[in-house]
Amino acid sequence: MEHKKRMKKGFEVLRKMGRLGTMMNQKEIYPDLYDLSVGYLFGEIWSRPHLSIRDRELITLASNIALARPAGTHSHYRSAKHLGFTKEEIMEIIIHVGHYAGWPAIAHALIQYEEVLKQDAAARKTKRKGRKP
């Protein structure tokens, strides 16, 4: 697939996930890696037929939880929320995966999800304070 077309598809997926501003460290440090992430990972893999973006997010979140990824999971919790996953659904993913991946996976996932909830609440509070009545 042509590079521009692949990048356009990748940006469309990232937009749907609420993640257009992510991976900027890749863009800054090594633009080729950023192009691969946007163009190949999101433009090719996440754009394939037969599974929705929501399905792919569930799979990615479950994989990250099972593997206790130290980085990357936070942004996928946010993408899941952006795609309409409820707190209850995310907690059920954590519980379900944890029973296959091990109880420590639940503890680790819960710590990460709690960080996201607190950060997002603080960001909303700051945003509200910045508004003029």
Q: Which tens digits make up the pLDDT trace of 50-80?
A: 999 999 999 999 999 999 988 889 999 999 9
Select from 129, 130, 128, 85 the least CA-distant residue to 116: 85
The verdict on pTM exceeding 0.75 is yes
Q: Where in the chain is the domain with CATH 1.20.1290.10?
A: 51-133
Per-residue pLDDT at 39? 94
Three-state SS annotation for 60-81: HHHHHHHCCCCCCHHHHHHHHH
Domain 51-133 has CATH 1.20.1290.10: yes
Assess whether pLDDT exceeds 80 at residue 130. no
More confident residue, 128 or 34: 34
CA-derived radius of gyration, the chain: 16
